[in-house]
Amino acid sequence: MVWDILSVCGWPVAGSRDDPPMEPPRVTLLQEQSGVDGSFLLAMLMTNHLKQSADNHVLLVAANHNAAHYTAACQKLTFNTASAIQTGQLCIVDVLAELYASGGSLGSPELLQLINGRISGYDKRNTLIIVDDLTFYSTMHSAGSGENAVIDFIEQLLHTTTAAHHHRMVLKVNASECYERLCTFLIDLADVTVSLGPLPSGSFRELDGILTVHRKQSAYPLMSAVREQSKTLLYKVHDRMVRTYVHGEVGIKNL
């Protein structure tokens, strides 16, 4: 059985005939453990959002990978990123390029201020804002203050985008224990939390990892601890698609 990975994550799929269409979550949190890379899911969310409507926009703040990585990933998903960048439908803030151009003069506080300014100045409607990866800025800060600075940045970001009701956010973070406080804060904010982890039994060429989705209960929006039962899938990333499997499926062992 192949489940659509975007639908499982709570996102409407471009070209879907659902009536009424699914309302995408305002804040999606992507947590990745060591040994897996969630950039494939970010590329899928980007291309899906842009394909839904010519009025949709994406602002990507890339630090875990550079801009070329994401443009190549979107090209594999049959989306013309060059045209989208030229028309302003897609904007990529390449943090690694900014660091290189600054000659090392930019620290985490200056980077966060720069990013906040770019996001605040991006006045396109129906924008999907993607920040990859928040833990990058935490490690650049002095010991003990990194998580606090990133939390302040996210609170400012949410305040900045509150008036823009059509804006959506996807935040990616490393789920290591050393970022436990930051992850707890982000989980409280997120409408949907997607966790990516390696197979507990070790590497397996037919699968890349396990994806678990937690959605906040719509009936209790102010109670972040009340969430729908999680959905867990096994997944394999191919060049032009992602295949998903359920535990116990024929040909897949209970891993």
For the stretch 83-101, pLDDT in tens is 999 999 999 999 988 888 8
Distance CA 16, CA 243 (A): 18
Task: Tell me the range of 27-31, 117-121, 238-242 where mean pLDDT is highest.
Answer: 27-31
Please choose, from the candidates 186, 243, 178, the residue with its C-alpha nearest in 3D space to the C-alpha of residue 209: 243
pLDDT of residue 94: 92
Q: Tell me which DSSP letter residue 216 carries.
A: B
Distance CA 234, CA 229 (A): 17
CB 244 within 8 A of CB 235: yes
Please choose, from the candidates 247, 243, 206, the residue with its C-alpha nearest in 3D space to the C-alpha of residue 230: 247
Please choose, from the candidates 10, 25, 12, the residue with its C-alpha nearest in 3D space to the C-alpha of residue 168: 25
Q: Which residue has the higher pLDDT, 120 or 40?
A: 40
What is each CA distance from 167 to 30, 120, 193, in whole angstroms? Answer: 17, 12, 18
pLDDT at 247 over 80: no
Query: Which of 34-43, 86-95, 113-122, 130-139 shows the lowest mean pLDDT across its residues?
Result: 113-122
If you average pLDDT over residues 191-208, what whole number do you get?
Answer: 87
pLDDT of residue 1: 44
Q: Which residue has the higher pLDDT, 94 or 123?
A: 94
pLDDT of residue 42: 95
Which of the four pLDDT bands, split at 50, 70 and 90, describes residue 187? very high
Edge-to-edge strand ranges of the sheet holding 57-62:
90-94, 57-62, 127-132, 168-174, 27-32, 192-197, 209-215, 231-237, 242-245
If you average pLDDT over residues 106-122, what whole number do you get?
Answer: 82
Q: What mean pLDDT is reported for the chain?
A: 84
If you average pLDDT over residues 239-247, what whole number do you get?
Answer: 84
pLDDT of residue 91: 94
If you average pLDDT over residues 226-237, what whole number do you get?
Answer: 79
For CA atoms 134, 138, 144, 150, the dihedral sign is negative
List domains and CATH numbers for the chain.
24-215+231-246 (3.40.50.300)
pLDDT at 70 over 80: yes
How far is C-alpha 83 from the geometric centre of its chain's CA atoms? 22
Distance CA 152, CA 204 (A): 40
Model pTM score = 0.89
